[in-house]
């Protein structure tokens, strides 16, 4: 028998907007949905309770209670499940990897230097430009950070294509700029040297590093570190988590920064859509 998730995915392409909202909520927030009656679920999503009932019937259930019963069973199974994968199997390797990530994230959360993160936010506000350096595995999280900073209206220069591009970015750095490095593993000494060079010239420097022992950390005025992991893949997840944490702090502390850019994007989107007809 198909699960409620399989049934949702089977029909999702033809669902109405209201049904899509319900479908996505049940897929993404099923634990919360397991505690909600049809009326409470409808209120949460600003829908009519009858819509919830019709959606359950659309999936082949007599009504919402039957659908909810299956969701509750899933939550119960997850809460009571004992992960005891057979040793030396792919399942055991998977479980060990997820456990390692979970522990590293928890240790990073517990040891997060909040004052250092706040210092980086203050430095962003005071910078004329943010020159962002990254290489290798650090490029994707650095790109995420650059996108959010640009959305907040900061002037960002992102150098991530090797030494010539880094040298070009460094040549244009001036006092008043912030040189920010994102580092997962130091494949080369170039970013550390770039930070040292900028710092010696009076430019403020900052770094997000996956390991406190990173050479580049020695040359950062402001340093945000994850809990060190010997596995670069885990380090990448930790750095992405630090980026998310930093962005959330920025959204909370300076929400107004994002509004002008968002308004401008909405305006341009509407103009482009009108021009396409």
Percent of the chain with pLDDT over 70: 94
User: Which has more pLDDT, 277 or 126?
Assistant: 126
Q: Are 63 and 53 in contact (CB under 8 A)?
A: yes
184-206 confidence digits (pLDDT tens): 998 889 999 999 999 999 999 99
Could you give the CA distance from residue 160 to residue 21 in angstroms, rounded to a whole number? 38
| Class (C level, CATH) for 106-262 | alpha beta
pTM of the model as a whole: 0.76
Could you give the CA distance from residue 139 to residue 129 in angstroms, rounded to a whole number? 19
Kindly list the domain boundaries of the chain, sorted by start residue: 4-80, 106-262
Span 213-241, mean pLDDT? Answer: 93
Intrachain domains 4-80 and 106-262 with the same fold: no
Domain 4-80 matching CATH 3.30.70.980: the answer reads: no
Q: Are 223 and 209 in contact (CB under 8 A)?
A: yes
67-110 confidence digits (pLDDT tens): 999 999 999 988 876 666 678 899 888 988 989 999 999 999 99
Structure letter (DSSP) for residue 161: S
């Amino acid at each position: 028998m198909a699960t409620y998730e399989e049934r949702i995915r089977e029909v999702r392409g033809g669902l109405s907007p209201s049904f899509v909202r319900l479908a996505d909520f049940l897929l993404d927030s099923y634990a919360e949905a397991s505690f909600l009656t049809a009326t409470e679920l409808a209120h949460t999503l600003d829908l009519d309770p009858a819509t919830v009932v019709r959606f359950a019937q659309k999936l082949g259930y007599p009504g919402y209670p039957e659908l909810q019963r299956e969701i509750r069973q899933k939550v119960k199974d997850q809460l009571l499940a004992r992960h005891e994968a057979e040793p030396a199997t792919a399942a055991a390797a998977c479980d060990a990897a997820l456990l390692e990530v979970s522990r590293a994230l928890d240790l990073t959360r517990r040891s997060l230097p909040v004052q250092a993160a706040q210092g980086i936010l203050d430095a962003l506000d005071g910078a004329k430009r943010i020159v962002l350096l990254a290489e290798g595995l650090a490029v994707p999280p650095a790109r995420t950070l650059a996108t959010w900073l640009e959305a907040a209206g900061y002037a960002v220069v992102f150098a991530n294509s090797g030494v010539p591009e880094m040298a070009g970015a460094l040549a244009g750095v001036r006092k008043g700029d912030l040189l920010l490095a994102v580092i997962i593993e130091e494949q080369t000494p170039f970013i550390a040297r770039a930070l040292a060079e900028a710092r010696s010239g009076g430019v403020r420097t900052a770094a997000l590093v996956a390991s406190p022992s990173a050479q580049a950390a020695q040359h950062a005025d402001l340093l945000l570190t994850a809990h060190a992991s010997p596995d670069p893949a885990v380090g990448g997840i930790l750095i992405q988590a630090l980026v998310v944490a930093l962005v959330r702090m920025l959204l909370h502390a300076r929400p107004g920064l994002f509004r002008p850019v968002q308004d401008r994007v909405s305006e341009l989107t509407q103009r482009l859509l009108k021009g396409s007809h």
